[in-house]
Amino acid sequence: MNRYDYDVIVVGAGHAGTEAAAAAARLGARVALLTGNLDTVGQMSCNPAIGGVAKGQIVREIDALGGLMGETIDRTGIQFRLLNSRKGPAMHSPRAQADKKGYQFEIKRRIEETPNLDLRQELVEDLLTETVDGQERIVGVRVRGDADYYAKGVVLTTGTFLQAIMHTGEAKTAGGRAGEGTTSGISQALLRLGFRVQRFKTGTPARLNGRTIDYSKTEIQPGDESPQPFSYMTDSLPGPHFPCWITYTNEAVHALIRDNLHRAPMYTGQIQSTGPRYCPSIEDKVVRFADKNRHQLFLEPEGRNTLEVYVNGISTSLPRDVQDQMMRLIPGLEKAQIMRYGYAVEYDFCPPDQLQPWFETKTIEGLFFAGQINGTTGYEEAGAQGLIAGASATLRLQGKDGLVLGREVAYMGVLADDLVTCGVDEPYRMFTSRAEYRMMLRQDNADRRLTELGHSLGLVDKTRYDRFSKKKAAIENATKMLAKLRVENTPADKHLRRPEVMWADLVAMFPESLSQYSAEVAQQVEFDTKYSGYIARQQIQVDRQNRMADKVIPKNFSYESITSMRTEAKQKFTRIQPINLDQAGRISGITPADIALVLAYIENPKLSRSNKTDAALASGHEDD
């Protein structure tokens, strides 16, 4: 066998894999990024867009930690919009349409030029492990063609390619993406190693030739006049920028779908796995929302150098002939030519309650999962997991703790905690409502929350950190300046808290003192000041949560020996293995009484001793 040695191996080069590999390399690891096809590195398998509600916050956090996604979409975006701009700042979410191929090529270029990172076209077929002192650990992977790659850290980011099947009507094809194949070796290896493996489903809509669309029958949707970049390193956004268009389904479309449900794989039993609730197929929409006579569709251009248009909102696995008929009934699409038909895909994933909060598996030391293998959906969620997993794999090799971000620190932390603590029963998607501290986790302040941490770990380079430090100093200076100024004997910062008062009003009053600050700095100071009361109340909750997080649960703590604990609680604690009482309290079905029992046992030495002795007796062994 040919042998190649690295520190970290990343399997899969989608959004999770590229962020994982880049993060590991930034921390100094020698990284091999293995993918079955070099022509699909960073490919957008579904919609040609980055960001959106809550997802935009995640992209800004990835960027604040030195990741790839933010700068890449800034360089290749063709339309930028700030969603929910009429609502409060906690709800603001950036979104951009991408030049689909441009984004893919830019990601590949950035990966290729990253020091310490080797990009290789290899098809992984097996996982290599060894047992040391009773602990199973990863040692590498085996690829097709008689070669082994060895490393102490392996990150699996397999997307939708594990034993994948694509469905278009009655037709079934092996593959995780149109025109590509599937793999079964990794799934079999995971089963052999004792992992629980389940199935999820996702789908994609048809793509149309824009030349054949009658846009006069649609509503135009332009981007923002003054677009905001994703990356904190971007000063301007290159053009040209393009509009999207909006059209709608109608009763005729819905009748056609209802008449053909007997040919829809989701309704014939051909597909039995669960799909994403918040991105349903058009078949699901028609059935579940039978009272609605139309559904909104977005016509999204796929790039500067193509006329291909993505029809957002009409994901389907209906047969090709039904898709043809369906388009002819939609305003503006009556003569539209389908370039690619919609389809559904079923694939394997591993329930994420099998992971530690830093995405290392509990079963195999050194093995990490990120992306859709964890039961998630979305480029942004995948990128966040990849960054955490890649960084953690390297940090663990350096003898340090993995990267764990608290729920009060980042949406990325909410994502990780939700997955490993609660698991998933449908493909996971991030929403602002999932973040209980969302006033603190705004998209505008992601760098203030994460860049110093990223720099201390080695994820953020000096150029980015110096830029951040100047901004931070300016914010602190402006905040102090406000406290000194007076408006009718009222400190200017208190005056700014009034709903009708804006930063521009204060600049008009004190131009010599306040006009020096950039729009970005001014926005941060204004948001911090106006919402200081809400933030202070959330900080009280955070402090309470942190006190619970300080109560660490010993590794291998025996819940079974707590005789007064409910069986359900014992089973859930044993499966999840929470690292502290804060995480334990968020496990579904766990009560305050259960937490009180665990707290009593970890704080009382006598009870802890009894717990340990009872566990030994139960297994037939007494302590020495």
Three-class HEC string of 19-81: HHHHHHHHCCCCEEEEECCHHHCCCCCCCCEEECCCHHHHHHHHHHCCCCHHHHHHHHEEEEE
Instruction: State the span(s) of the chain assigned CATH 3.50.50.60.
Output: 2-202+347-456
The secondary structure of 133-185, three-state, reads CCEEEEEEEEECCCEEEECCEEEECCCCCECCEEEECCEEEECCCCCCCCECH
- Cα(9)–Cα(21) distance, rounded to whole angstroms? 8
Q: What is the pLDDT of residue 388?
A: 98
What pLDDT is recorded for position 623?
A: 36
Considering the chain, tell me which residue range(s) the CATH 1.10.150.570 domain(s) occupy: 550-618
Amino acid letter, 464: R
Give the DSSP letter string of 265-313.
HHHHTS--SB--TTS--HHHHHHHTTT-S--EEEEEE--TT--EEEEET
Which residues lie across from 89 on neighbouring strands? none
Q: For the chain, what is the largest distance between any 2 Cα atoms, rounded to a whole number of angstroms?
A: 83
**Residue 51 φ/ψ region, left for φ over 0, alpha for ψ in the -120 to 50 degree band, beta for the rest:** left
Ranges for all domains in the chain classified under CATH 2.40.30.260: 207-342
Predicted local confidence at residue 526, as pLDDT: 96
Q: Domain 207-342 classified CATH 2.40.30.260?
A: yes
Rounded Cα gap, residues 316 and 338, in angstroms: 13
* Cα torsion through 166, 168, 169, 172, rounded to 10: -40
Q: How far apart are CA 622 and CA 347, in angstroms?
A: 46
Q: What is the dihedral of CA 604, 609, 611, 614, to 10 degrees?
A: -150
Taking phi over 0 as left and psi of -120 to 50 as alpha, with beta for the rest, 54 belongs to: left
| DSSP per position, 207-274 | EEEGGG--GGGSEEE---SS---SSTT-----S----EEEEE--HHHHHHHHHTGGG-HHHHTS--SB
- For the structural domain made of 2-202+347-456, what CATH number should be given? 3.50.50.60
β-strands 490-491, 207-209 pairing:
unpaired
Detail the DSSP E strand segments found in 302-383. Answer: 308-312, 338-340, 343-349, 367-369
β-strand pairing of 165-168 with 343-349: antiparallel
* SS3 state at 339: strand
Query: Mean pLDDT by 10-residue block, N- to C-terminus, for the chain (624 residues)?
Result: 95 98 98 97 96 97 98 98 94 97 98 98 97 94 96 96 92 87 91 96 96 98 95 92 97 97 91 84 94 97 97 96 97 98 95 97 97 96 98 98 96 96 94 93 97 98 98 97 94 95 96 95 95 93 89 89 89 92 91 90 68 43 36
CATH code reported for the domain at 550-618: 1.10.150.570
* Rounded-to-integer distance, Cα 123 and Cα 46, Å: 22
Distance CA 272, CA 388 (A): 32
* pLDDT of the residue at 616: 43
Contact 575, 353 (CB under 8 A): yes
